[in-house]
Structure 1
Amino acid sequence: MGKTIEPTPLITVITPTHNRRETVLRAVESVLSQSMSRLEHIVVDDGSTDGTESALARIQDPRLIYVGAKWRGANAARNAGIERARAPLVTFLDSDDIYMPHRLERTLTWFEENPVLQVLISSFVSLKGSRITNCVNPEAFVSPAMLERTLVGQTIFIAGSAITARREALLAIGGYDSDITRMQDRELLLRLARRFGAQLSRDLDWTKYNSENSISGRRDGYVEAYANLMGKHPHIAHAYPHIPPYMISRQLIADILRGRIPEAFQGYMANRSSKTLGYSLPELMQG
């Protein structure tokens, strides 16, 4: 992490991390070895105690910027990165994921060929143990209304590392919501959807590693997270009255079929206590 002033980057990559030294080093390597070089990679360390800072300090590349402080969670860390970004385009990479070599070059091409484009959602390869899944979105521009509907119904593949947006668009909506700990990428996109819509890309340009302790890989607390998301966007339950009860009942049924009865009950009660949802059993059965 040298002091040399480089040309203004074309794109900023933001990686929040906390005590994931080995995987963040892998993530950084995948960024610095990209096929295009005019980039900056901001790693925002949310109070790691595992030697992350010293490990990153050994990387002598001025494009790597380490920001170390207590940012009160990954979303606040992402927002700190957005504030510091020098490039007009901002994209994200979770500390346990990696980019494929042409990720940023392909991303830049989308925005260069579409000057009015504000948001891009790419496709990715998901790894969980020995299971490999290609999560491929259709290649299409999705209008604001349709993007909102697909996000609520979870009919497209999204994850934090799939999102690229113009920095000004992210600042205009206030960045990530620091109160959200799950479904934060979906919540961010819901606010972006109201203004911009998004381009979906079929490019499989990064790899998602689903670790045992990753938030995205957990199924417990799903209904609580969904209820929290709907609480942030209460108009959705009225605009799409059949989607929220369907999403909740689907998760409860999945828990029951897996023998996760306590989790199903906890999810049902989280739904009942939600001011936005509060569906009864008959209403969920109709969903």
Structure 2
Amino acid sequence: MKVSVIIPSFNSAKTIEDTLESIMDQNWTDIQIIIQDGGSTDDTKAIVTKYPTAILGWQSEPDNGIYDAMNKGIKRATGEIIAILNSDDAWLPGTLDRVASVFSRNPDVGIVSGSIEVWEDSPNGAKVVLKSSLLHLYKGLTVQHPATFMRRNVYERIGPFDTRYQIGADYDFVLRCLMANIPCIILEDVLVRMRAGGKGSSIFTLDDWKVRRSYKISSVFYEIITSINNFMRQLTRKIIKNTLGDKTVSIIRNYRWRKRTFR
């Protein structure tokens, strides 16, 4: 079973080697690595060059955001199974064996998704395991996209990511798959380690709101309360960081994360 893994990247020299090593450690013989780079000016390409399988799939050109890069990668993919792995994330050992076995035993299934471990890249940093779920999508994207694998024919049927969303197109895409009744299997296995951080804040909240309202899966009252809570949480974190420092933010984050199950 051929697997295509798409890695969107931009100035990822500090992290992309960990990502590539995690792919190489799968020891998967039939794999296509597609690195869709947005025009990096650091040493990203020099690092990728050390991996012959990866440099074959290297393409660097300006794009219109991460989902445009993903769409370009999907067009280049030739594998039966397509994965998207960010350039600062990593597959855990045995991930492809586990996922491929599920697809092989279930030929009608189009999507397989597992859990992710989110961690702070710092000594004694906070970490949490977040599961995938189809039951909590009214809250946000609770299918963990870095740990989600799809047959190529799902993209052919559903279409590309909607680039009108800055960072909510994966949420929209999952909901489109559900509306199209694409069969999905959710695994308990932790498949990916993901660094905390990245895009989010008010843009993420706004994109979530747009997606939920477009599918009418939440009330206006819920959105108002959610927006207020998110704003207050971000404001509080900023105040704590500026007054008490990153270490205190990490301690509080670790406490809050212990109560989380889904993103």
Q: Is contact 2:83-2:148 (8 Å) kept?
A: yes
Paired AA for residue 66 in structure 1: W
- Which one has a bigger Cα radius of gyration? 1
1:208 aligns with 2:186: no
Q: Is the 8 A contact 1:123 1:157 kept in 2?
A: no
Provide the residue aligned with 1:150 in structure 2. Answer: 136
Shift of 1:188: 1.2
Counterpart of 1:169? 154
| C-alpha deviation, 1:116, in angstroms | 0.1
Give the superposition deviation at 1:170: 0.8
Alignment of 1:60 with 2:45, yes or no, is no
Structure 1 pair 163–226 and aligned structure 2 pair: CA distance change class (3 A): same
What secondary structure, in the 3-state scheme, does the structure 1 residue paired with 2:118 have?
A: strand
* Uncovered stretches (5+) of structure 2, i.e. residues with no partner: 237-263
TM-score in terms of structure 1 length: 0.73
Aligned-residue offset at 1:110: 1.0
Query: When the two structures are aligned, how many residues end up with a matched partner?
Result: 232
Select the residue among 23, 26, 30 that pairs with 1:34: 26
What is the alpha-carbon distance in structure 2 between the residues aligned to residue 28 and residue 20 of structure 1? Answer: 12
Q: Deviations over 1:50-104 (max 9, x none)?
A: 1212321232337851112222221111111111111111011011100012111
Offset from partner CA, 1:111-147 (integer Å, 9 cap, x none):
0010000011111111024111111347xxxxxxxx4
Question: Unpaired segments of 5 or more residues in structure 1?
Answer: 1-8, 139-146, 261-287
Query: Do structure 1's residue 255 and structure 2's residue 231 form an aligned pair?
Result: yes
Q: 2:125 aligned with 1:133, yes or no?
A: no
Contact 1:16/1:45, CA 8 A, preserved across alignment:
yes
Aligned positions of 1:35-50 closer than 5 A: 35-50=27-42
**2:77 aligned with 1:85, yes or no?**
yes
Q: Does the Cα contact within 8 Å between 1:153 and 1:247 map onto a contact in 2?
A: no
Q: Which amino acid aligns with 1:186?
A: Y
Secondary structure of 2:138's match?
helix
- Alpha carbons of 1:63 and 1:38: their partners in 2 closer, same or farther (altered >3 Å)? farther
Q: d(CA) in 2 for partners of 1:16 and 1:46?
A: 8
Identity among equivalent pairs (%)? 21
Q: In 2, are the aligned partners of 1:137 and 1:200 still within 8 Å (CA)?
A: yes
Change (3 A) 1:175 1:55: same
Query: d(CA) in 2 for partners of 1:172 and 1:27?
Result: 29
TM-score by length of 2: 0.79
Per-residue CA deviations over 1:236-269 (Å, capped at 9, x if unaligned) read 22xx454x53244134135336656xxxxxxxxx
Say if 2:182 is the partner of 1:199: no
Q: Which residue of 1 aligns with 2:115?
A: 123
CA distance in 1, matches of 2:191, 2:166: 25
Larger RCO (CA under 8 A, 6+ residues apart)? 2
